[in-house]
Amino acid sequence: MPIKTRTTFFKLLLAFSVVLMVLIIAEIYFYFFNPISYLKPPKPLSKQQLGELFVRQSPIPGLDYELAPNKDSKALSISIRTNSYGMRDDEPVISDSDPARRIVVIGDSFTFGYRVGGEDTYPNVLEKILNEQNGRTRFEVLNLGVGGYTTRQEAIALKHKGLKWDPELIIIGYVLNDPEIDSLQPLPAFFNETKWWQHVNIFRLIAKFKQIYDVKMLGGGDYYIYLHKDERKWQSVVSGFESIKNAAKEKNIPVLLIIFPTIDNEGLRVKDGFWDSYKYKDLHNKVENIADENGFYVIDLYDYYSNYPPQDLVSTPTDNHPNELGHRIAGEAILEWILGNESIVRSVSGNDKQ
């Protein structure tokens, strides 16, 4: 080997060794003194902890987890009870002589009812009002909401679980973090397959900086705007809606999309004029446009929520999940839409009372 070539080789080897040593020292520092929490693999749960969860690994391809059937537990001081079909709902009544008229609702933690009792979720609010307004006709509004689900997972849940109930209407609860297909939330992170590089702090730090950069460049520093501008993430909503459309079209079932406003930290700080300066209206419009392209009907809950102070609608001063009032408003808005669209959904105005 020529002297010049050998010298160059040893310089490159030395540089590589120095970089490798720096990375090893940095990894040791982060591992023992300052672990990077971003995308950190969750710790394995004991058998007892697994038994206490109200979710389980799903056998359905594309669904990493689902609600476990026949669970009765507490989380955040709220009772969580699931039926034998793994819904946070009462047991559906199976009767050939007196069949129920059914509506299926898919969604994430907003639909599931994070921090509220099962009877206070908007699907159950809607069911209660429908049954109060009608005579002998029985309605069942089946809640298939699961915390952490994305639009893509909701489409899978509808295909494999929701359609078997032969619903008259499909309702999608859309939240502005629905394009979040990476495992950032606790439940998806626990059940999703961990990538090898997630075990290395340095790589997680690089991924975190990339995320910060992307949010800044695509979303101007706003995470929700970024989710709707990142092509890969937004495409998950587009393909999810298309899948829902195709599944519903086979049985000629109308689809209603409800869009929940996001009450961010500004709204949670009780700032006057929050609704007048609401910064996500363009995102609502973008979602509504793609819903229109798929033939969905749309309720934008901004038109209803904006009549109330934002802090009156959320679970806690630091949690923007809707409280009982937020769910009741959503349920009543859906009922109003149903009553105004009896050519789409069979009459529920009481004409069948006996």
Q: Is there a domain that residue 41 lies in?
A: no
- Grade residue 49 by pLDDT with cuts at 50, 70 and 90: low
pLDDT at 353: 36
The residue with tokens 């406003």 is 261
Return the higher-pLDDT residue of 99 and 130: 130
Residues 135 and 246 in one domain: yes
Residues 139 and 216 in one domain: yes
Return the higher-pLDDT residue of 318 and 50: 318
Q: Is there a domain that residue 56 lies in?
A: no
Percent of the chain surpassing pLDDT 70: 90
Residues 200 and 335 in one domain: yes
Residues 215 and 284 in one domain: yes
Q: Is there a domain that residue 47 lies in?
A: no
Residues 30 and 92 in one domain: no
Return the higher-pLDDT residue of 97 and 327: 327
pLDDT above 80 for 136: no
pTM of the model: 0.89
Instruction: Supply the range of the domain harboring residue 124.
Output: 88-184+192-340
Residues 30 and 172 in one domain: no
Residues 6 and 130 in one domain: no
- Grade residue 351 by pLDDT with cuts at 50, 70 and 90: very low
Residues 156 and 241 in one domain: yes
Q: Is there a domain that residue 78 lies in?
A: no
Residues 120 and 27 in one domain: no
Number of structural domains found in the chain: 2
Q: Is there a domain that residue 62 lies in?
A: no
Residues 27 and 102 in one domain: no
172 - beta bridge partners? 106, 257
Average pLDDT over residues 278-291: 97
Q: Is there a domain that residue 211 lies in?
A: yes
- Grade residue 261 by pLDDT with cuts at 50, 70 and 90: very high
Residues 223 and 299 in one domain: yes
pLDDT above 90 for 120: yes
For the stretch 248-257, pLDDT in tens is 998 999 999 9
Q: Is there a domain that residue 80 lies in?
A: no
- Grade residue 41 by pLDDT with cuts at 50, 70 and 90: confident
Q: Is there a domain that residue 228 lies in?
A: yes
The CATH number given to whatever domain includes residue 333 is 3.40.50.1110
Residues 277 and 215 in one domain: yes
pLDDT above 90 for 123: yes
Percent of the chain surpassing pLDDT 90: 61
